[in-house]
Structure 1
Amino acid sequence: MRLRELAHSRTGDKGDTSNISVIAYRAEDWPLIRETVTVAKVTALFGPQIAGEVTRYELPQLCALNFVLKGALRGGVTRSLALDAHGKCLGSAILEMEVSAHDGGTGAGH
């Protein structure tokens, strides 16, 4: 299934860094999201579009993850000529990620 079936997303930016939060609709889906939406999968999803490191923060009280993607905005709002200089579409892109209970338990990318 697609992540968008289990969660919604919010995005923010600061300079050349994008923040993407993934928030579970239901608390019972949080363990699957926590186990399957890893740094490795997010890094692979965005590929060379991200020039720096990807860091993941867990917010279990909110059933949410926050990813900080450095070097994701091609210089940031004041420098980029990109159509989406704020990186708002990155939240929609992450929700297209495939998640499955079979992916869980690897621990990779936490």
Structure 2
Amino acid sequence: MYFSFDRIDTAEAYISKMKRFGFGWDMNKNYLQTQSDTVKFPIKRNSTSFTKNKYNADVSGFYELPLKKLYKERYSKCKVAFIHKENRADITLYFFYNPNKAATVSKHMAKVLRNIKFVS
């Protein structure tokens, strides 16, 4: 599993750094953009009420991220979970697995995600 917490930072140095790496610095506007075919691998958004009650956030969901090559020369698939809190932060979790472990990775995702919540 790999995760990132992306806070909002509008400092010029941060924006320049993100542009150098090819990322959009404004995660609040770009949190659903993926490098994936969303018709073949649709983004599954949770309902607004579920997201508010579960995470105290504005948007959450998950999607399958196709990998171009094996991750760590071992994993061929990746599920991504995201949680977005407007003007606060974005949480992105990457769960790497192999096709025969799809049920196991779903259980691990549920365990991890039940422990995440934005505080007021």
Which has the higher relative contact order, 1 or 2, with Cα contacts under 8 A spaced 6 or more apart?
Answer: 1
Q: TM-score, normalized by length of structure 1? A: 0.33
Structure of larger gyration radius: 2
Q: TM-score, normalized by length of structure 2? A: 0.31
